[in-house]
Amino acid sequence: MTGHSAGWAASDVRTRHVLDIDGLGSAGLAAVLALAEMGPQELPRVLEGQGVALLFEKASNRTRNSSEMAAVALGGHPVYIQGDEVGIDIREPAGDVARTLACYHSVLCARVIDHETLVRMAAALDGAEVAVPVINLLSDRAHPCQALADLLTLRQVFGPTGLGDRTVAYVGDTNNVWRSLAVAASMVGMATRVASPPGYGPSAADVELVRSFGGDLTVTDDPVEAADGANAVYTDVWTSMGQEEEAEARLAAFAGYSVDESLLAAAEDAVVLHCLPAHRGEEISASVVDGPRSVVWMQAANRMHAMRGLLAWVMGVAPLAGEEDRPR
Ligand code: CP
Ligand code: NVA
């Protein structure tokens, strides 16, 4: 056991649901990153003997495995559950699924088709005064666990002086990954740019959301304008899970938006990020994702460290006083 504080009464602290990255607040984000950057031995085994539900309505490699191992590192017992087994809103309502899982688990993590499912699960637990936090493992709207790993990666790449004077350019679909990344980057003072074909750019509400964190956001349909002089270039699949019927139309619409060698000529010193899985020859070329500027495997590895920090934080672990304020 270290000097880090752990354990909290439901009456003391609002249940720390994490449905998107902005739900952490700036102090929470700093605390989670500080915890994520600590070795597993430095953290209290705050989940000792307790269950962690990992409910997936969609496929996963990184999220499932990083979450399982993060829970184990804190002494917890992760239980992987496929959506079909519990049948959210088919076999029983989302709220009843959540309340049932909360009888056995201290944290409820879920990857859902519809973001609203997470909202309803958290509301059902709050309404019943059950202090079990809900963590979003990806929804159609957000992917906060990925954004945490992305920030960890950017901090490792750009060093301990902070990210405030760096720019991350996202080229592609303004999906769940983009939304959480743009908000997270804005929360730590990075400038962000996004380039998407007409019809696939951010909504006015999303632009407002990102800018509400003081984010310097540039929106364009020109990938070269976005990449020009950027410190990091990020992309994700053009067709997300659940959009398979649109795949052909999206392939046509996103032609010219590939992160390839020719686009990277505009961002000579940039590192390249991708949450994975990658589709070589579509949103990213093989030579880029497998090349020297790619940090995708750092991102993948950081998923586990980010999740360990996040699980510790939702369980009430706080970094040592001032630790989250240190430049990293
Ligand atoms: N990046 C990511 O979330 O990967 P998985 O879909 O494999 O979990
Ligand atoms: N945008 C992708 C991310 C996968 C990790 C999807 O939702 O399928």
What's 144-300's CATH class? Answer: alpha beta
Answer yes or no: is pLDDT of 310 > 60. yes
Collapsed DSSP state (helix, strand, coil) of residue 231: coil
Which pLDDT score, from 0 to 100, does residue 148 have? 98
Catalytic residues: 111, 143, 146, 236, 275, 303
Ligand 1 atom with least separation from CA of 138: 3
Q: pLDDT (tens digit, 9 = 90+) per residue, 250-262? A: 999 999 999 999 9
Give me the chain's average pLDDT, please: 94
Question: Atom 1 of ligand 1 has which residue's CA nearest to it?
Answer: 275
Low-confidence winner among 5-14, 148-157, 191-200, 211-220 (lowest mean pLDDT): 5-14
CATH of the domain spanning 9-142+305-320, picked from 3.40.50.740, 3.30.1240.10, 3.40.50.1370, 3.30.70.20: 3.40.50.1370
Q: Could you state, in order of their start, the residue ranges of all structural domains in the chain?
A: 9-142+305-320, 144-300
Q: Which of 241, 254, 274 gets mutated to test ligand 2 (max ligand atoms within 8 A of its CB)?
A: 241
Share of the chain above pLDDT 70, in %: 93
Residue 240 Cα, ligand 2 centroid: separation in angstroms? 5
Q: 21, 184 in Cβ contact below 8 A?
A: yes
Q: Which ligand is nearest to the CA of 307?
A: 1
pLDDT tops 50 at residue 6: no
Distance between CA atoms of 214 and 172, rounded to whole angstroms? 23
pLDDT 10s digits, 55-81? 999 999 999 999 999 999 999 999 999
